[in-house]
Amino acid sequence: MLKRTLIGLIRSAETTGEKAKDPALKTRYYKISMDQAWDEIINMFKKLNGYKLLHEVRNVGEIVVEKRTITGRTQDITVTLFSINPLKTAVDIYSASRGSLGDLGSNYRTILDIYKHIDKKLAAHKINN
């Protein structure tokens, strides 16, 4: 966690992906259609405290939300859903803080928080890599 805070002194964005070195930032997969996953995740954000749903672009699989941090900064978060096949969906998250200073690891923690909520919401469909 200290390493994340130190990296966060200079970096103000974090992203997940296939090749992420940190296992916590690897793309997540769910055994569910993209449409079903989309509806579940949209409903989750509507009920989730601290997150504000800004845009939904279903045809490209992008959900844009913002979150205010404890320090009052705003994070812009893009959750991207990819249909791997009719019954498998991948989810990646990109989070960036507005402003020029580093984020002290808050984007990292935000991504883990969102994944935790998605994992809970789609628990029956999670594929453990």
HEC profile of the chain: CHHHHHHHHHCCEEECECCCCCHHHECEEECCCHHHHHHHHHHHHHHCCCEEEEEEEHHHCEEEEEEECCCCCEEEEEEEEEEEECCEEEEEEEEEECCCCCCCCHHHHHHHHHHHHHHHHCHHHEECC
Question: Whose CA is closest to 73, among 115, 45, 104?
Answer: 104
> pLDDT tens digit string along 4-34?
555 556 678 899 999 999 999 999 999 999 9
Does 100 have pLDDT greater than 80? no
Mean pLDDT of 101-113: 88
pLDDT for 7 equals: 57
Residue 83: give the domain boundaries. Answer: 2-127
> Vertex 78, ends 58 and 29: CA angle to 5°?
75
The residue ranking higher by pLDDT, 6 or 120, is: 120
Q: State the CATH number of the domain containing residue 45.
A: 3.30.310.220
Instruction: Give the chain's domain count.
Output: 1
Does 74 have pLDDT greater than 80? yes
Q: Which tokens sit at 92?
A: 């990646």
Percent of the chain with pLDDT over 90: 78
Does 67 have pLDDT greater than 60? yes
78 — pLDDT class (breaks 50, 70, 90): very high
